[in-house]
Amino acid sequence: MTMVERTIWRVGHGRSLDLTEHGAIMAIINVTPDSFSDGGLHAGVETAVAHALACAQDGAVILDIGGESTRPGAAEVSADEEMARVLPVIDALRENTDALISIDTYRAATARAAVEAGAHIINDVHGLQREPEIADVAAATGAGLCIMHTGRGREKLEDPIADQRHFLGLSLEIAARAGVSRETIVLDPGFGFAKETLEENMDLIARFEELHGFGLPLLAGTSRKRFLGTLTGRDARDRDAATAATTVALRLKGASVFRVHNVAINRDALVMADAMLAAERRLAANKDLPV
């Protein structure tokens, strides 16, 4: 079989994730009362830990722990409240699973405390541009860093890929100034975050390959998003099949990490997409064609 370029994502505490030939599932663990599709279901420490461990059993290799809802209009919580929600969950998971632990926060203080508690990855939905000091935390700790594009709170460029390049380019400048190693970075185009129309989200899927120009692994977070409901007519908790369809589509377009609510269905979808890619590489090698 034709060899593919090796892609290793370096994360905190001496860990790494091989993304060369297989995609990775990141499970959404919302320790919140008000997240858009599962708010309150796992708000307690015990229920959040149990849910996270079940997600790991279903095939998640990353558990993304969040203490503040990112849905539009959600109330902000204080840093102290955010840490009170997430740190006990991270403490418990560190002792009970080998899965990588991610902290979903834009706050430098929460990120620092979470990595000290055992988190391997920092996932910032503001792309380092709300609290740039979070890049210093990533650089100092060697944590993996998910940098997400968002259009919230600013005027976007008309072309969606041009806006991705503009925003994420600024984020990568912040990371570089802080001394963050590029081998720790994954980029997330931020489906649904001020992508107001169905067309904008679908155009982002259709043109996803253009994001490979950054030369970094890509994360896809389409799970249960509103544009899937627009297409299917289904409520948020009934959009897992549609989510799995985007997992296949975006894996075939080169996404490496998939942030989802329902791990099992997306794990199976990803297995099929990875098998399709492996078959394409095998056929190309047999025909002596480049991949």
Cβ atoms within 10 Å of 142's Cβ, excluding its own: 18
In the three-class reduction of DSSP (H, G, I as helix; E, B as strand; rest coil), residue 76 is classed as coil
Instruction: Please say if 225 is a catalytic residue.
Output: yes
> Pseudo-torsion of CA 87, 29, 27, 160, nearest 10°?
-100
Cβ atoms within 10 Å of 215's Cβ, excluding its own: 8
Residue type, 81: E
Residue type, 69: S
Residue 65: its H or E element: strand 62-66
Choosing from 225, 239, 251, 253, the catalytic residue is: 225
DSSP code per residue over 154-173: SPPPSSHHHHHHHHHHHHHH
Quickly tell me which residue has 């095998």 as its tokens: 282
Contact status, residue 187 vs residue 216, Cβ threshold 8 Å: yes
Choosing from 85, 226, 253, 259, the catalytic residue is: 259
Quickly tell me which residue has 């129309």 as its tokens: 197
Contact status, residue 227 vs residue 181, Cβ threshold 8 Å: no
The whole-angstrom separation of Cα 156 and Cα 194 is 9
Catalytic residue numbers? 225, 259
